[in-house]
């Protein structure tokens, strides 16, 4: 794909700056609703399985129009089509970006990799159903980190209501041995299946945990590795070398944080079954089709991604708080953190040139209503304006009376309170209001609606990354720490602090001293 136009050099960007100075900076949500009885309709959007109300954001029709102009001037549609056309849009690694292909039904694309995708999917789902039917396996331990942990863990938690009875799923990610140790203390080798999930099969944390799990298994008398270990990886050769022959592969065109739709999704399939996993894929595919076919003006990922640009580059909001009002969605903020911050937390464009504007905001959050009793104080009355994103589900899967009505009422009330505010002469009880929020609504939380919600966020991140001109699909920023950790580990063992900065040397000294006292 040819070089893209830097977004801040377009006429649309200049027009947005001008509009922000004249109107956007003084925009008041309360006045906007007063003067426009149709604001909710204008600024909300139906998409497959997800409804979104964007009307409580500090945006007007002119800003939105200019943002669509910006998207067109920056070649967003061409860039999207390049991704869906299999071009190497991950230019720093010369890779195509085709996680969307994992969700395409059999025969529905001419992409040459589709047959392979379905061959692997069928094999993996047949394996998942065999594990589900195997009553001797009671525990499944997924060992992986980052994209090889967050997506599966989040989805298994979200779809708990659909999960098989009699199977406990555990997720071990951290190199901190406390995590693996605690899980091993609760399982028995003969009834446990370990899934070693790593795109590269080289990640320090995962390989350290995998080696310890295998050593524990063998020390406990376990011998049938083929039955008790499976690997999910693009590096099948390394898995074999490690001693695992049951492997499910995927490809370098699936980024780690976009990989839960691949073999990395095996824990999800074990939890919800083959059909549940297919439904998850189909919900995501519905959103893919929406993203590819809808005009920008009625395209939810596009509208959201452009709102993100407006909020970050013009309003200058530095963070975004995610508030899922459904406890099963409690891992969604962590999942979205990797998705957005690892994708768009970059300070150079795809050619490596320094950017003249800000990129990824900080994402954070906890489920509602818990957050209300912790940090919502700051959201309502703090000095920073933080857009909040509510995710609510209309129909619960439990039958307890009252709870769900109150949960949903709280979500709507918080969005209302943020916007309305409350005047009080006393100061302390004054709520400034005019605080922006977005409200996502699912009819029910199912594999399908979850798939759609997640694909929506993947594409939204693509849209803002595309406008910013960055490569959203590499992650060079994680490399330096990995290299230094190996050097520090050697120094921690040897005590050699030569050439280190004073703080690192001092800390290593303290650590060695304190470790010796154990
Ligand atoms: O360190 C970052 C990262 O490379 C993520 O992008 C990735 O999801 C994670 O590590 C795990 O990588 P792997 O699946 O190769 O073990």
Does the active-site annotation cover 513? Answer: no
- Cα 292–297–300 angle (5° rounding)? 60
Nearest CA to ligand 1 atom 6: 256
Q: How many angstroms separate the alpha carbon of residue 206 from the centre of ligand 1?
A: 9
Which ligand 1 atom minimizes the distance to the CA of 257? Answer: 8
Q: How many angstroms separate the alpha carbon of residue 265 from the centre of ligand 1?
A: 15
CATH number of 99-274: 3.40.50.10490
Q: How many angstroms separate the alpha carbon of residue 11 from the centre of ligand 1?
A: 39
The dihedral through the CA atoms of 84, 85, 88, 91 has a sign that is negative
Question: Taking CB atoms and a 6 Å cutoff, what residues make up the pocket around ligand 1?
Answer: 145-148, 198-200, 203, 206, 256-257, 342, 475, 478
Q: How many angstroms separate the alpha carbon of residue 146 from the centre of ligand 1?
A: 5
Position 147 scores a pLDDT of 98
Nearest CA to ligand 1 atom 8: 147
Position 425 scores a pLDDT of 75
Residue with tokens 């720490």: 481
DSSP letters spanning 379-437: HHHSSS---EEEEEEEE-SS--TTHHHHHHHHHHHHHHHHHH-B--TTSTT-B-----E
Q: How many angstroms separate the alpha carbon of residue 203 from the centre of ligand 1?
A: 7
Ligand 1 pocket test target in 90, 97, 147, 234 with most atoms within 8 Å of CB:
147
- Specify the pairing of strand 319-325 against strand 437-444: unpaired
- All residue ranges of the chain with pLDDT < 70 are 1-3, 518
Residue of 26, 106, 373, 422 marked catalytic: 373
d(CA 202, CA 211) in angstroms, rounded, equals 12
Residue of 8, 214, 228, 342 marked catalytic: 342
Position 128 scores a pLDDT of 98
Query: What distances in angstroms separate CA 372 from CA 81, 216, 377, 385, one per listed residue?
Result: 41, 43, 7, 16
Nearest CA to ligand 1 atom 16: 198
Position 3 scores a pLDDT of 67
Ligand 1 pocket test target in 475, 480, 485 with most atoms within 8 Å of CB:
475
Please list the residues that pair with 422 across neighbouring strands. Answer: 431
- DSSP assigned state of 342: I
Q: How many angstroms separate the alpha carbon of residue 202 from the centre of ligand 1?
A: 9
Contact 128, 273 (CB under 8 A): yes
Which ligand 1 atom minimizes the distance to the CA of 259? Answer: 8
CA 106 from chain center: how many Å?
26
Number of helices (H), then strands (E), belonging to the chain: the values are 20, 11
Position 152 scores a pLDDT of 98
Contact 7, 468 (CB under 8 A): yes
Q: How many angstroms separate the alpha carbon of residue 134 from the centre of ligand 1?
A: 31
CATH number of 38-73+294-472: 3.40.50.10490
Residue with tokens 């994103």: 389
- Specify the pairing of strand 437-444 against strand 388-395: parallel
Which ligand 1 atom minimizes the distance to the CA of 206? Answer: 16
End-to-end Cα distance, the chain: 58
Position 98 scores a pLDDT of 98
Write out the two tokens for 471: 């490569």
Does the active-site annotation cover 482? Answer: yes
Contact 323, 390 (CB under 8 A): yes
Does the active-site annotation cover 342? Answer: yes
Position 402 scores a pLDDT of 98
pTM for this entry: 0.98
d(CA 1, CA 84) in angstroms, rounded, equals 12
Write out the two tokens for 210: 């995998």
Which ligand 1 atom minimizes the distance to the CA of 479? Answer: 1
- DSSP assigned state of 156: H
Which ligand 1 atom minimizes the distance to the CA of 150? Answer: 8
């Amino acid at each position: 794909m040819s070089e893209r136009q830097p977004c801040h050099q377009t006429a649309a960007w200049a027009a947005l700056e001008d509009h922000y100075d004249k109107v956007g900076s003084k925009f008041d949500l309360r006045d906007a609703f007063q003067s426009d009885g149709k604001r909710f309709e204008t600024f909300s959007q139906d998409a497959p399985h997800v409804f979104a109300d964007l009307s409580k954001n500090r945006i007007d029709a002119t800003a939105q129009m200019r943002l669509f102009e910006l998207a067109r001037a920056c070649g967003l549609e061409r860039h999207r089509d390049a991704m869906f056309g299999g071009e190497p849009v991950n230019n720093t690694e010369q890779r195509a970006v085709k996680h969307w292909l994992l969700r395409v039904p059999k025969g529905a694309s001419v992409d040459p990799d589709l047959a392979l995708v379905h061959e692997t999917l069928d094999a993996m789902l047949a394996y998942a159903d065999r594990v589900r039917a195997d009553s001797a396996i009671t525990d499944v331990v997924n060992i992986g980190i980052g994209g090889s942990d967050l997506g599966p863990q989040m989805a298994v938690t979200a779809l708990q209501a659909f999960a098989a009875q009699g199977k406990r799923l555990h997720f071990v990610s951290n190199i901190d041995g406390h995590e693996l140790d605690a899980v091993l203390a609760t399982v028995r080798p003969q009834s446990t299946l370990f899934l070693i999930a790593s795109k590269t099969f080289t990640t320090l944390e995962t390989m350290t945990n995998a080696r310890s799990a295998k050593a524990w298994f063998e020390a406990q008398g376990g011998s049938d590795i083929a039955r008790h270990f499976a690997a999910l990886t693009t590096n099948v050769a390394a898995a074999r070398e490690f001693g695992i022959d049951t492997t499910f592969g995927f490809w370098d065109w699936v980024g780690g944080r976009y990989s839960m739709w691949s073999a990395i999704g095996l824990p999800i399939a074990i939890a919800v079954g083959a059909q549940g996993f297919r439904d998850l894929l189909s919900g995501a595919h519905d959103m893919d089709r929406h993203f590819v076919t809808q005009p920008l003006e009625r395209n939810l990922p596009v509208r959201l991604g452009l709102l993100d640009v407006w909020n970050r580059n013009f309003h200058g909001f530095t963070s975004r708080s995610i508030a899922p009002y459904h406890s099963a969605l409690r891992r969604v903020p962590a999942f979205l953190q990797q998705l957005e911050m690892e994708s768009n937390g970059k300070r150079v464009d795809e050619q490596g040139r320094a950017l003249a504007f800000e990129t990824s905001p900080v994402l954070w959050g906890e489920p509602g209503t818990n957050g209300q009793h912790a940090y919502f104080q700051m959201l309502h009355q703090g000095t920073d304006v933080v857009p909040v994103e509510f995710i609510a589900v209309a129909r619960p899967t439990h039958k307890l009376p009252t709870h769900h009505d109150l949960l949903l009422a709280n979500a709507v009330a918080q969005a209302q309170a943020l916007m309305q505010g409350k005047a009080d002469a006393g100061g302390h009880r004054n709520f400034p209001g005019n605080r922006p929020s977005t409200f996502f609504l699912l009819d029910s939380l199912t594999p399908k609606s979850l798939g759609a919600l997640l694909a929506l966020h993947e594409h939204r991140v693509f849209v803002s990354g595309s406008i910013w001109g960055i490569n959203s699909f590499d992650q060079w920023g994680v490399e330096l720490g990995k290299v230094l950790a190996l050097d520090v580990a050697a120094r921690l063992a040897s005590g050699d602090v030569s050439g280190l900065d004073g703080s690192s040397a001092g800390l290593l000294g303290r650590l060695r001293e304190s470790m010796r006292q154990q």
